[in-house]
Amino acid sequence: MHKWRTVMLASLALTSGTALAATLGPAAGAAAFDPCSAVSQGRLRYTPGGATRLVFAISSAYTSNYVTVTECVKKGRSWTKVTETPGRAGTNGFARPGKKREGDGKSPTGSFTFTEAFGVADPGTRLHYRTLRSSGDCWGATPGQSHYNDYYSGDCGASDENLSSLMALGPYRQAAVIDYNRPRAVAGYGSAIFFHVGGRTPTAGCISIEETPLRGIIRSLAPGDRMIMGPSSELFRS
């Protein structure tokens, strides 16, 4: 992992106990919009695929890193809201579709599957779950390496993510992998995009919310469920 990303995640883990609502004030306006109803109305620009649950991370604009995270479940032909919570995206907001690049501090825009998760202990998810150890769990973030944007075990490279260390700091106590630029990663297009613990400060490109709601969402997910993320105007037709 790049040093600035490590510092950012460590800072997130050590953030003081300031009230979350105050920290995430700009997200409050977006909470009135119900993406689940919008999907039922056929207004979503992206396909939900075979998902039975969708997790939306919606900002007010490409430049905003405040998001409202909403979980929707499919019931028949309709989608119903399950949970909603404030969260944060990349420090520089969202990249436009297809424009995300390594180290730009932006979250990717689009619809991405969930297939796996990791952290301190399996909360009961149907995703493939990896319980992290105290050391030796890594995620490749170095373009050109064989394990770019994938898990590997051993000594973590200087530019790669040390999952074990970041679990100890807090952000990776629970995390689901957002399948951006996976499984066939294009070098330099971005790596290590996760849905992880946080919600108080911007990320390096991930989506973060507080741990309790995150555990609940991860517990409900199954392979093929999706994270749909970006500004509302990009994700939905008016």
Percentage of residues in the chain having pLDDT higher than 90 = 86
- Give per-residue pLDDT as tens, 101-113: 999 999 999 999 9
pLDDT of residue 26: 55
* Cβ burial, residue 193 (10 Å; 0-12/13-18/19+): buried
How sure is the predictor about 55, in pLDDT bands with cuts at 50, 70 and 90? very high
Q: What is the pLDDT of residue 78?
A: 97
Closest by alpha carbon to 72, among 91, 84, 54?
54
Which residues face 230 on adjacent strands? 58
Q: What is the mean pLDDT of residues 180-199?
A: 97
Half-sphere exposure of 124 (CA within 13 A, CB side): 6
Mean pLDDT of the chain: 91
**Contact status, residue 57 vs residue 67, Cβ threshold 8 Å:** yes
Condensed to tens digits (0 to 9), the pLDDT of residues 57-88 reads 999 999 999 999 999 999 999 999 999 999 99
pLDDT tens digits for range 85-98: 999 999 999 999 99
pLDDT of residue 9: 56
pLDDT-derived band of residue 32, with 50, 70 and 90 as boundaries? confident
pTM for the model: 0.90
